Amino acid sequence: MTEHELRDLIAEVAEGRLSRRGFVRRMLALGLTAPMAGMMLAHSGVAFADATLPYKPTKAGGGGLLKVLLWQAPTLLNPHFASGTKDQIASRIFFEPLAGWDKEGNLIPQLAAEVPSRENGGLSADGREVTWKLKRNVKWHDGKPFTADDVVFTAEYAADPATAAFTTGAYTNIKVEKIDDHTVKITFREPTPFWADPFVGVTGQILPKHHFGEYKGAKSREAPANLKPVGTGPYKFVDFKPGDVLTGERNPDYHVPNQPFFDRLEVKGGGDAVSAARAVLQTGEYDYAWNLQVEDDVLKRMETGGRGRVSTVVSGDIEFIILNTTDPWTEVDGERSSVKTKHPTLSDPKVREAINLLIDRDSIQKFIYGRGGTATASFVNQPPRFKSQKLKYEFSIEKANKILDDAGYKRGSDGIREKDGKKLKYVFQTSINAPRQKTQAIIKQACQRAGIDLELKSVTASVFFSSDVANPDTYTKLYCDMEMYTTTQPQPDPERFLNQFVSWEIANKENKWLGRNVSRYSDPAADEAYRAAQKELDPVKRAALLIKVNEIFCEAHVILPLLSRTRVAAGASNLMFDHSGWDVDTWNIAAWYRT
């Protein structure tokens, strides 16, 4: 998709011929995030919409107890220490950012009075300054007023490396100044096309200076407020037992009129996803459960009871397969899968193309993931008129056979193809997770019929996703021919997500396999487009460049995307809730209510 085509699409949205949601869907298919799509529209004069839940109750309180079940239990409540989603969800109940992302990628003001734009003077023409106007009359839970000082402090707190905040990346290269008590200006060192990262969403929750001021840097872990949060959120902290239960009560001074609806709130943790779904859908013991990575069939059966319903929202998570073009079975300078080696057969583009044809994405979606994912052959598959012919997804054993025949791979006596004595036998690894093992089996069957033999290997998730340098089975080591996993896109800006396609991020021994480019494949054109995107201020041009980076990898059949995953949650049938794939589930919990 070129810049020109993107502009056409944006114009269609502006004229109302294409819905905002349709546009966002298409951008998702191109590997961009919904927030990025929203930013493109905003830049082109299509204002952010509001796809949040319409709030019906006419007074705050009176809703009784809201019971939320997280099957991974929250263990800490400081949003800047929160490494896992479970902790982010828990801390977001008490702390708020200046703005959050709704499910369609709209930026919704929370502690800000409005979202900065060129029209309201919030964004400078050179792309280096963002001015946020803060909401007035917001009070911390202890009654102190919320001011620009707290915002400035939060940036200092997170930026200090000694604090060891997980959000530090968003605050390191910026300068934050207080203009007046309710205005804050952010100055970026370089023109920054995606400015909505500091103080926004997951990374942006504002801390009260009067509670954390003394605990910046090395003393951060001693702050009493780490476990007894004082925020601006809709619920006040009551009690917290790490790894078990968190309770809150209604904040009577909440800054949004008539919110929140519930008087008390309980977040229980622990157990597993299936029984969490059961507690909401079947027995109704809980009102809401999150991240239900459960087979869709099981969820459907539970839903028949009528006590609850399953809700899915799109996210940037993509399940995909990497084909290793380096040789995983030869050791060079103390590492396997080194870029100095070439895979005996997978370095042949024809073989990779054939394997891509042997993945029955439709069946994988239909029989394994259901509502949990949407089949995607490449990042580019929507809409029809932009569907690239090269990247069309297809499942065809005959075509794969023909490609391999033409490329000179002949079947041996055991039915496995070979050329120059090199057999098409591969080790295909992934983490242990029932849907993944089923997917492996489906692909293995199809490959068998095309004369390719796959040996399936599955590694415990805690090892596979660890960064243990000594373990050969981690996903970044890629000591196998093929591997499959999901990359999550927790941050709304796809630029950092796409750095897994650049040459300087290749994982190797030197960087202790922490490099983001796990596939080890690189292409000068992708590097160039990525570098250009980093500097490009026009969001539309930038999107076109990032899409190009994506396309290069898909066209080379090094990255074979399977499904774009959705976030699955379950809620009681009378609970009106609002979760988003671009922010944490509780980002808008103030607006949840019961009918």
Half-sphere exposure of 79 (CA within 13 A, CB side): 32
**Cα–Cα distances in Å, from 240 out to 221, 226, 237, 287, 288?**
17, 11, 8, 19, 19
> Could you say whether residue 465 binds another protein (CB under 8 A)?
yes
Which tokens hold the place of 471? 């373990």
> Could you say whether residue 75 binds another protein (CB under 8 A)?
yes
Closest distance of CB 2 from another protein, Å: 27
Residue that is written with structure tokens 């009577």 in the block: 252
Phi, psi of 11 (to 5 degrees): -60, -40
Give the x/- contact pattern for another protein in 237-276, rule: CB under 8 A. --x-xxxxx-x----------------x-x-xxxxx--x-
Closest distance of CB 183 from another protein, Å: 27
Candidate ranges 116-124, 208-216, 400-408, 461-469; the one touching another protein (CB under 8 A): 461-469
> Could you say whether residue 466 binds another protein (CB under 8 A)?
yes
Closest distance of CB 379 from another protein, Å: 17
Count, residues in the chain: 595
Q: Which residue in 281, 355, 315, 387 sits closest to 585, CA to CA?
A: 315
Closest distance of CB 222 from another protein, Å: 10
* DSSP β-ladder status, 245-250 and 453-459: unpaired
Closest distance of CB 290 from another protein, Å: 14
Give the DSSP letter of residue 139. B
**What is the C-alpha to C-alpha distance for residues 556 and 101, in angstroms, rounded to an integer?**
33
Phi, psi of 497 (to 5 degrees): -65, -40
> Could you say whether residue 73 binds another protein (CB under 8 A)?
yes
Closest CB to another protein among residues 47, 65? 65
Which tokens hold the place of 584? 């944490």
**What is the C-alpha to C-alpha distance for residues 157 and 170, in angstroms, rounded to an integer?**
12
Concatenated DSSP letters for 451-506? T-EEEEEEE-HHHHT---TT-TTSTTT--SSEEEEEE---SS-HHHHGGGGSGGGB
Closest CB to another protein among residues 315, 381? 315
Give the x/- contact pattern for another protein in 176-215, rule: CB under 8 A. ---------------------------x------------
Candidate ranges 5-13, 118-126, 220-228, 521-529; the one touching another protein (CB under 8 A): 220-228
Residue from 227, 434, 441, 525 touching another protein (CB under 8 A): that is 227
Closest CB to another protein among residues 22, 490? 490
Closest CB to another protein among residues 365, 474? 474
Other Cβ atoms within 10 Å of 169 Cβ, number? 15
Please list every residue from 144 through 183 that binds another protein, using CB under 8 A.
Answer: 161-162, 164-170, 172
Compute the C-alpha angle 131/136/137, nearest 5°.
Answer: 155
Closest distance of CB 69 from another protein, Å: 7
> Could you say whether residue 298 binds another protein (CB under 8 A)?
no
Closest distance of CB 245 from another protein, Å: 5
Closest distance of CB 483 from another protein, Å: 14
Query: Rounded to the nearest 10 degrees, how much is the dihedral formed by the CA atoms of 573, 578, 581, 582?
Result: -170
Peptide bond into 260 cis (omega under 30): yes
Closest distance of CB 272 from another protein, Å: 8
Using the CB atoms, write b or e for 239-268: b if 16+ within 10 Å: ebeeeeebbbbbbeebbeebbbbbebbbbb
**What is the C-alpha to C-alpha distance for residues 373 and 566, in angstroms, rounded to an integer?**
5
Asked if residue 426 lies in contact with residue 454, where contact means CB atoms within 8 angstroms, the answer is yes
Using the CB atoms, write b or e for 344-383: b if 16+ within 10 Å: bbbbbbbbbbbbbbbbbbeebbebbbbebbbbbbbbbbbe
**What is the C-alpha to C-alpha distance for residues 543 and 37, in angstroms, rounded to an integer?**
9
Closest distance of CB 72 from another protein, Å: 8
> Could you say whether residue 436 binds another protein (CB under 8 A)?
no
Give the x/- contact pattern for another protein in 509-538, rule: CB under 8 A. -----x-x----------------------
Closest distance of CB 227 from another protein, Å: 6
> Could you say whether residue 69 binds another protein (CB under 8 A)?
yes
**Cα–Cα distances in Å, from 310 out to 22, 52, 572?**
22, 18, 9
> Could you say whether residue 430 binds another protein (CB under 8 A)?
no
Please list every residue from 85 through 104 that binds another protein, using CB under 8 A.
Answer: none
**What is the C-alpha to C-alpha distance for residues 37 and 32, in angstroms, rounded to an integer?**
7
Give the x/- contact pattern for another protein in 471-510, rule: CB under 8 A. x------------------xx----xx-xx----------
Candidate ranges 50-58, 98-106, 280-288, 410-418; the one touching another protein (CB under 8 A): 280-288
Residue from 184, 279, 322, 359 touching another protein (CB under 8 A): that is 279
Burial category of 175 from C-beta neighbours within 10 Å (exposed 0-12, middle 13-18, buried 19 and up): middle
**What is the C-alpha to C-alpha distance for residues 277 and 309, in angstroms, rounded to an integer?**
10
Closest CB to another protein among residues 416, 463? 463
Closest distance of CB 544 from another protein, Å: 22
> Could you say whether residue 64 binds another protein (CB under 8 A)?
no
Candidate ranges 129-137, 318-326, 407-415, 465-473; the one touching another protein (CB under 8 A): 465-473
> Could you say whether residue 84 binds another protein (CB under 8 A)?
yes
Closest CB to another protein among residues 132, 166? 166
Judged by the rule CB under 8 A, the positions of this chain that interact with another protein are: 65, 69, 73, 75-76, 78, 81, 83-84, 161-162, 164-170, 172, 203, 218, 221, 226-227, 239, 241-245, 247, 264, 266, 268-272, 275, 278-279, 282-283, 285-286, 462-463, 465-468, 470-471, 490-491, 496-497, 499-500, 514, 516
